[in-house]
Amino acid sequence: MVLSCLASFLFAAAAWGKIIYAGVNESGGEFGVFGSPGQGLPGTFGVDFAFIDQSTVDVFVDQEQINFFRVTFLMERMCPLATGLGATFNETYFSEFEDAINYITETKGAYALLDPHNYMRYNDPSQQPNSGSIIGDTSDPNAATTAQFQAFWGELATRFVDNPMVVFGINNEPHDMATDLILQNNQAAIDGIRGAGAPQLILAPGNGFTGGHAWTQTTGNGDAPSSDFMNMLVDPLNNTAIDIHEYLDEDFSGSHAECTQPAASNLAALTTWLQQNNLKAMITEFGGGNNENCFQFVSDLLEYMASNDVYIGWAAWAAGPFWGTNTACCGADTGSLEPGQNNDLGQPDAFSTVWANAIRPNIPVADLKRSGVSSLS
Ligand SMILES: *[C@@H]1O[C@H](CO)[C@@H](O)[C@H](O)[C@H]1NC(C)=O
Ligand SMILES: *[C@@H]1O[C@H](CO)[C@@H](O)[C@H](O)[C@H]1NC(C)=O
Ligand SMILES: CC(=O)N[C@H]1CO[C@H](CO)[C@@H](O)[C@@H]1O
């Protein structure tokens, strides 16, 4: 509280906001399960999945001076199907994940967002984002309960309770489910984390793949807007922000090379809602294709966040150890943000194009938070 009073005093007069977390997704811990049910479960570290490549994390921290990594993992690997979602972990998978988190946070001194990459579903990741039972769906006898989800978060938070550099991401991209159930699951996660005594920043998603442009709109098959519910979250420490994803192509999917959806107009309603509800947000997934137009759209998005003080950080999609020449988003030939890789055409990947042209110039190096418990300011 002392910190936030000081921060509001210092920045009360500033017209511009302050981005304090800037970074990249590290995707790989969820790889290897797409196909038929059970494929890649539990999977083998270094073969089916991996979390980070330490040498490229070094590049991001030492050269790019970012302070934030979003590290994906799969709940079906952390909590094996045999024992179900909850407080019983696969200790091998946990320790492989913990090694990556400790490298980022302790060795490199950056913040790490723990990202269960599960679309708020559990038990069958084989056709993500569409397979698996919706957590807390009482009409589905195979579904994990909201109480199990709370137990899972309580256990994970317990294991990182003393690591100030960790941020808890409740879940990746809920979609096509009742929005009030997302509220209940989010609240259960917050209760589990705070119940474990963990004070760190929490990021809570909404419906519709947590898309910023759709925050105040119905999504899926008429599911209520996220804006109707997510202002009801209660965090006894007031250290929860909204987790937003925003791609800039025609259908906001991140699957096209052309950017046509401008951030400022598409995020305006979300920004107003955040202001009205005294909430902050981070955009933990965005990207653009390898072309001048997208460089401009991505720059515009980053500048929009920097000029609106409800946004405190961002992470681009995506780097990671297993992308190889594959594309992480935004057009077939874009490649990934992993330093030192080529795209499918044998040309430098998005780290040398999108990152270099649009993202690197917008990293607010001097403003980034470098120590202390992850928090809203
Ligand atoms: C635990 O996960 C590791 C991979 O991280 C895997 O090799 C092992 O088979 C898993 N064990 C169980 C019991 O699922
Ligand atoms: C959280 O915010 C509420 C409402 O503004 C306030 O009453 C409460 O004291 C705050 N709690 C903490 C721990 O800052
Ligand atoms: C880990 C993560 O952030 N995953 C999302 C990032 O972006 C891709 C799109 O390229 C999504 O498929 C993932 O859900």
> Is 358 inside any structural domain?
yes
- Is the model's pLDDT at 3 over the cut of 70? no
> Is 76 inside any structural domain?
yes
**Separation of CA 129 and ligand 3 centre (Å):** 10
Q: Mind listing the pLDDT tens digit for each residue in 83-141?
A: 999 999 999 999 999 999 999 999 999 999 999 999 999 999 999 999 999 999 999 99
Question: What's the mean pLDDT when you consider all of the chain?
Answer: 94
CB-based contact 332:301 (threshold 8 Å):
no
Looking at all shown ligands, the one closest to residue 27's CA atom is: 3
**Separation of CA 201 and ligand 1 centre (Å):** 29
Residue type, 162: D
Mean pLDDT of 338-353: 96
Residue 234: CATH number of its domain: 3.20.20.80
CA distance 236 to 120: 23
Helix, strand, coil percentages, rounded to 5, for the chain: 35, 15, 50
DSSP assignment of 275-304 equals HHTT--EEEEE----SSHHHHHHHHHHHHH
Q: Find the domain containing 122 and state its range.
A: 20-367
Number of domains in the chain: 1
> Is 5 inside any structural domain?
no
CA distance 305 to 74: 29
> Is 3 inside any structural domain?
no
> Is 373 inside any structural domain?
no
Q: What percent of the chain has pLDDT above 90?
A: 93
> Is 131 inside any structural domain?
yes
Looking at all shown ligands, the one closest to residue 79's CA atom is: 1
Mean pLDDT of 137-163: 98
Of 30, 64, 96, 173, the catalytic one is 173
Counted residue by residue, the chain has a size of 377
- Is 285 a known active-site residue? yes
Supply the pTM of this predicted model.
Answer: 0.93
pLDDT computed for residue 4 by the predictor = 36
Q: Residue for token digits 């991996």?
A: 50
- Is 258 a known active-site residue? no
Which residue has the CA at smallest separation from atom 14 of ligand 1?
Answer: 42
> Is 8 inside any structural domain?
no
> Is 375 inside any structural domain?
no
Instruction: Please list, residue by residue across 323-359, b when 16 or more beta carbons sit within 10 angstroms of its beta carbon and e when fewer do.
Output: beebbbbbbebbbbbbbebebeeeebbbbbbbbebbb
**Separation of CA 24 and ligand 1 centre (Å):** 27
pLDDT computed for residue 41 by the predictor = 98
CA distance 318 to 327: 9
